[in-house]
Amino acid sequence: MIDLFSGLDAWVLVSLLLALAFVLAFEFINGFHDTANAVATVIYTKAMPPHLAVFFSGVFNFLGVLLGGVGVAYAIVHLLPVELLINVNTGHGLAMVFSLLAAAITWNLGTWYFGIPASSSHTLIGSILGVGLANALINDIPLADGVNWQKAIDIGASLVFSPMAGFLIAALVLIGLKWWRPLSKMHKTPEQRRKIDDKKHPPFWNRLVLVISAMAVSFVHGSNDGQKGIGLIMLVLIGIVPAQFVLDLTSTTYQIERTRDATLHLSQFYTRNSDSLGEFLALGKSVEGDLPEKFRCNPQQTEPTINALLDTLKGVADYHSLPSERRIEVRRYLLCLDDTAKKVGKLPGLAAREKDDLNKLRKDLTATTEYAPFWVILAVALALGLGTMVGWKRVVLTIGEKIGKQGMTYAQGMSAQITTACMIGAANIFSLPVSTTHVLSSGVAGTMVANKSGLQGGTVRNILLAWVLTLPATVALSAGLFWLASKALGS
């Protein structure tokens, strides 16, 4: 990490430190903004004292970030079009990062202040989309190319589907519990438990399930939401100090050889399928240059790009041996080859087996570009974990009492939490960012309907309003900030 600061101009160093502080502040705010989603039920049901619930939630959020990988992180990063990712420029990177972070932090703080369970995932995604669209308008790029719309659709579908599924599954789980044990004490609210049984805490087994499921929600929240901070920091590092972070400089000789071999196999793959891909890739035709002048990936320049990459990596056993300009070129080549391979995989005519081979080659191609240093993961884990330990009170009451017309029963809390933990865990497997806030609050709403407790129109309306407004508001805010920053920097 010490190398990060060596040889940097003072203004670049200050900008880098400010950008990193912004990202960690976003994760800290994300922690206390979303904490209530993990601890609301255990605090409201008195399964755990607030100070213990918040502390252990912070610990499990920390562990979730450390052990969660980087799949979701790069799903977020690749919302930006590949052309924007390969255009490495310090001023451009600063404008992009500060604009999207300022928009995300502003919206998160505003919704937290009013106690509205808004989604940090929606906030961040809207901010990234805003930057991509503003960049397209500034540089006269078609809006269709300003954002990776296919990735945006995939993520949007997961964000829309997950609350609906959370509502339905949590409701079904509660119905199952009521059918299995209709007279159980788990169907009492904390208030009923205190009045009827003169007991402060839930029954032992219900309490155990509530605590375990709350910690599971904390863990998967860290492994999903924490990765968003990791992706942001990698955008910061690649945008401001590209020479040291465009490639994983800790890559072993084997990993570099694996990348080179994947490039060679990719060339053989295209040759093998030249009948169906020859025209799309302009195979065997002379194309001037290895990449377009404005860093725009062109499938018809795939062959020159493959040759340039193989030539650059020839005899390379350590990325440190490459000059900084060459490292940037290698990343540019790899990202464009991956982008083209992704487009090829969607073309008709390729056999399923060939598409499967292509997907495996893509993973090998990006193995040394989609990474995160351990200190980045640790910093995000600490920021999210510490943020989790403050600020929980504003949203706990909303989750526990203001969604339904009656208080939450122990069974409802268990149903909502188990559903949330399982759904976010599944999303992590497929590297899809989802909203812990929306999955849990919709799960609680589903249990309220299944329990015939009714829903409080005002609270549900506020949550839905935040859900609807978050994307357009953050898109507009980040786009405006990026436009202003780009004009100020003269880009």
Helix (H, G, I), strand (E, B) or coil at 136: helix
Spatial separation of the C-alpha atoms in residues 92 and 128, rounded to whole Å: 14
Answer for the pair 382, 229: CB distance below 8 angstroms, yes or no.
Answer: no
Query: Residue 443 above 80 pLDDT?
Result: yes
Answer for the pair 222, 425: CB distance below 8 angstroms, yes or no.
Answer: no
The predicted pLDDT at position 347 comes to: 86
Mean pLDDT, residues 419-444 taken together: 87
Its pTM stands at 0.84
Query: Residue 233 above 60 pLDDT?
Result: yes
Query: Residue 94 above 80 pLDDT?
Result: no
Spatial separation of the C-alpha atoms in residues 424 and 59, rounded to whole Å: 18
Spatial separation of the C-alpha atoms in residues 435 and 163, rounded to whole Å: 8
Average model confidence (pLDDT) across the chain: 83
Answer for the pair 453, 404: CB distance below 8 angstroms, yes or no.
Answer: yes
The predicted pLDDT at position 117 comes to: 60
Higher pLDDT, 335 or 349: 335
Q: For residue 292, give the amino acid letter.
A: P
Query: Residue 423 above 80 pLDDT?
Result: yes
Higher pLDDT, 77 or 397: 77
Query: Tens of pLDDT along 370-388?
Result: 999 999 999 999 999 888 7
Spatial separation of the C-alpha atoms in residues 267 and 62, rounded to whole Å: 42
Spatial separation of the C-alpha atoms in residues 80 and 201, rounded to whole Å: 48
Query: Tens of pLDDT along 185-219?
Result: 898 888 888 888 888 889 999 999 999 999 999 99
Query: Tens of pLDDT along 49-77?
Result: 888 888 898 899 999 999 988 888 888 88
Joined tokens for residue 200: 């402060």
**φ, ψ of residue 455 in degrees (nearest 5):** -120, 145
315 Rama sector, left if φ>0, alpha if ψ -120 to 50, beta otherwise: left
- Distances from the Cα of 371 to the Cα of 138, 249, 327, 366, angstroms: 30, 10, 15, 9
Q: For residue 128, give the amino acid letter.
A: I
Percent residues over pLDDT 70 in the chain: 87
Q: Which of 101-115, 299-313, 317-331 has the lowest mean pLDDT?
A: 101-115
CB-neighbour burial class of residue 249 (10 A; exposed 0-12, middle 13-18, buried 19+): middle
Query: Residue 123 above 50 pLDDT?
Result: yes
Residue of 437, 331, 453 lying closest to 402 (CA atoms): 453
Dihedral sign of CA atoms 231, 235, 241, 244 in order: positive
Query: Residue 292 above 50 pLDDT?
Result: no
Query: Residue 469 above 70 pLDDT?
Result: yes
Joined tokens for residue 100: 């999207």
The predicted pLDDT at position 456 comes to: 67
Query: Residue 37 above 80 pLDDT?
Result: no
Query: Residue 174 above 60 pLDDT?
Result: yes
Higher pLDDT, 409 or 84: 409
Mean pLDDT, residues 245-258 taken together: 93
